[in-house]
Structure 1
Amino acid sequence: MMKGFTQLLAATAALSLSLTPATAQDAVQDGDGIWITLGTAAGPVTSSTRSQPANLLRFGGRDYLVDVGDGAAGQSGKAGVQTKMIDGIFISHLHFDHTAGLMGILGLRFQTNGSDPLTIYGPPGTQHLVDGILTAMEPGATANYGVAGAAPVDHRAGIRVVELRDGDSIETGGMTVNVRQNTHYSFPEGSELADRFESLSYRFDLPDRSIVYTGDTGPSDAVEQLASGADLLVVEMMDIPLTIERMLEANPGIPAAVSRAMQSHLADHHLSPTQVGDLAARADVGSVVVTHFSGWEKNQPAHMRYLEEIAETYDGAFLIADDMDAF
């Protein structure tokens, strides 16, 4: 299955569309959809070159955020989408690197007089998260622009939360969204935490293409089933040994128990390049976009190894995305 070097580079280059704010605004045609990787870092460690995890799905004249890591509002602005234009938000799980930008989105939406309804979809616990953010917004919303006698404005107006679980399916804006629980959490089956929390992967079936977003996950039969035959798989990937090494170097005094838990989480709850190739091949997807990336960057020789490992089992087009790539 391994591609030749030239073929591999050509397939990689052909997958991504060049993106400027103008093309981002004009890219959606009736029946078409475009996926923009607003932030491609693997959190929670911040990066000088990659923003925290966030994506923009533009379809049918609507704009949906898929995960909202820190900086999502600014990255959306680069694509020509102001916060009050956002029609819906999908959250894969409640880790802070995937949700920290939500307060910025909601706060700036309020400040720019966003009045259209906004639905936030996410796993169990999303309502609690949003309620907490809206409570935290009360001082700023009450003071507002500091004008005496100004009429109060309800900063909660129009915001709705829909919590989703494994196997759910919804229709919104002309697309079907199917949901499966992945393996980013591994709480004991039947435990309180397993009942309270799920990490979700999404399949967006548009009239002319299907896009699957894994969010954070380890190897998962459910995600493979969800992605079966999809046109585009947007998948997380990490160089797990290198990430563990960097985390330990950055935290030299980390307690042993915390270190063991962190290493177990990284090893079991994320995908390596080989596992990405295996998933894409078994699901028989049309093409693959890698995001939530932690590893050697493209200007470093070791980066080519990731491409080679994916191509060992997957012979379709794939690419390790940068921020603001469009597909």
Structure 2
Amino acid sequence: MELYFLGTNAGLPTTQRNVTSVALRMLEERRCSWLFDCGEATQHQILHSPLKLGKLEKIFITHMHGDHVFGLPGLLSSRASHEGSPPLTVYGPQGLRDFLEATLRATQSRIDFGLEIVEHSGGLVFEDEQIKVEAEALEHRIESYGYRVTEKDRPGSLNMELLQEWGVRPGPEYGKLKNGEPITVNGRTIEPEQVLGPPKRGRIVTILGDTRPTAGIHPLALGADVLVHEATFTDEFADLAYKYYHSTAVQAAEAAQKAGVGELILTHFSSRYKDLEQLQPLLAEAQAVFPRTQLAIEHQSYPITAVKGVE
């Protein structure tokens, strides 16, 4: 599981950075990728990345501002041109369905891969046997959400030495034990708890939309292994950030510290910061509060490692 940033700029693209989009790659876990926001030219960014449209399973939209959604109709249209593309679900706030249906209808775009549009107002957005996704309202000029992606605990490792001692060879029996089913070998019934180690804690990733500091951030970020938080301005522009419903790097770091996250990744940078060098003050300000902070850099992967967070 890893994050891959396709766009890290706020509001407008620049020659150095595109507008907002980040992928959660889960190729080993479920052979797919999820996308969070889809600003203009996201599909162009994908062309220069290891991502594949055919592996895209879900898209989560944080809010309906153009720098987070204008790339969506084009991406869906291009995906439809790939024969045999599997179904895809797009989640987001009220207005998402009208936006997509109107743009796809006006451009006579044919989407034949099974497109489902799910509008939500927070709470549990998606759940299956592997993962659940929850959303919480943030504080922005329009309805905006953050998403908490929780990987469910996985079975512990098998005690290979004990299994070999009991005459259990690698094969289907291993899978049954991993799934919590007892097996019988050479007249011996083996219960899963006899040969399985402690469960492996699932990883938690929190990705926020645009927001001022607000109480809704804490339950989303609590104990997360990685928090992706906007940092539109340095602290000297805190008044401007508040006026336009955004956050500073310091405010992002304070949220990470309070929630006890494993790592903070800053994104959604104002175009006043032209290049990586000019982003260094944001990083320095955040690290002074929360040392485990990184800048989101486009076309760079960020592996997600489970760490012990706040219980």
Q: TM-score, normalised by structure 1?
A: 0.70
Conserved 8 A contact 2:232-2:267: no
Q: 1:270 aligns with which of 238, 246, 256?
A: 246
User: What does residue 208 of structure 2 align with?
Assistant: 214
Conserved 8 A contact 1:62-1:173: no
After TM superposition, the structure 1 stretch with the greater mean CA deviation from structure 2, 235-244 or 34-43, is 235-244
Aligned residue-pair number = 248
Q: What letter is aligned with 1:234?
A: V
Q: What letter is aligned with 1:292?
A: H
User: What does residue 59 of structure 2 align with?
Assistant: 89
Separation in 2, partners of 1:156, 1:131: 14
Map 1:244-283 onto structure 2 (within 5 A): 267-283=243-259
Residues 101 and 274 of structure 1, relative CA distance in 2, 3 Å threshold:
same
After TM superposition, give the deviation of residue 222 of structure 1 in Å. 0.8
1:67 aligns with 2:31: no
Q: What letter is aligned with 2:16?
A: T
1:40 aligns with 2:15: no
Residues 90 and 97 of structure 1, relative CA distance in 2, 3 Å threshold:
same
Residues 181 and 83 of structure 1, relative CA distance in 2, 3 Å threshold:
same
After TM superposition, give the deviation of residue 270 of structure 1 in Å. 0.6
Alpha-carbon deviations, 1:228-274, whole Å to 9, x = none? Answer: 11000011111268889xxxxxxxxxxxxxxxxxx877635111111
After TM superposition, give the deviation of residue 172 of structure 1 in Å. 4.6
After TM superposition, give the deviation of residue 200 of structure 1 in Å. 0.7
User: What does residue 144 of structure 2 align with?
Assistant: 199
1:155 aligns with 2:108: no
Separation in 1, partners of 2:132, 2:115: 21
Q: TM-score, normalised by structure 2?
A: 0.73
Separation in 2, partners of 1:242, 1:54: 26
Q: What letter is aligned with 2:107?
A: M
Conserved 8 A contact 1:291-1:321: yes
Conserved 8 A contact 1:36-1:324: yes
After TM superposition, the structure 1 stretch with the greater mean CA deviation from structure 2, 264-273 or 66-75, is 264-273
**Which is greater in Rg?**
2
1:299 aligns with 2:277: yes
User: What does residue 178 of structure 2 align with?
Assistant: none
User: What does residue 235 of structure 1 align with?
Assistant: 229
After TM superposition, give the deviation of residue 109 of structure 1 in Å. 1.1
- Structure 2: state its 5+ residue gaps: 153-201, 303-311
**% identical equivalent positions:** 29
Q: What letter is aligned with 1:224?
A: H
Residues 226 and 311 of structure 1, relative CA distance in 2, 3 Å threshold:
same
Separation in 1, partners of 2:134, 2:91: 12
Q: What letter is aligned with 2:4?
A: I
Map 1:24-39 onto structure 2 (within 5 A): 33-39=1-7
Q: What letter is aligned with 2:219?
A: Q
User: What does residue 123 of structure 1 align with?
Assistant: 93
Separation in 2, partners of 1:77, 1:169: 29
Conserved 8 A contact 2:235-2:248: no
Residues 221 and 97 of structure 1, relative CA distance in 2, 3 Å threshold:
same
Q: 1:166 aligns with which of 107, 122, 130?
A: 122
1:310 aligns with 2:286: yes
- Structure 1: state its 5+ residue gaps: 1-32, 142-153, 186-196, 245-262
Q: What letter is aligned with 1:70?
A: E
Higher RCO (CA-CA < 8 Å; seq separation 6+): 1
Residues 173 and 163 of structure 1, relative CA distance in 2, 3 Å threshold:
farther
Residues 89 and 304 of structure 1, relative CA distance in 2, 3 Å threshold:
closer
Alpha-carbon deviations, 1:283-312, whole Å to 9, x = none? Answer: 111001111112533324xx4432332133
Separation in 2, partners of 1:326, 1:293: 18
Q: Which has the higher helix share?
A: 1
User: What does residue 181 of structure 1 align with?
Assistant: 137
Q: What letter is aligned with 1:222?
A: G
After TM superposition, give the deviation of residue 173 of structure 1 in Å. 7.4
Q: What letter is aligned with 1:111?
A: S
Q: What letter is aligned with 1:201?
A: G
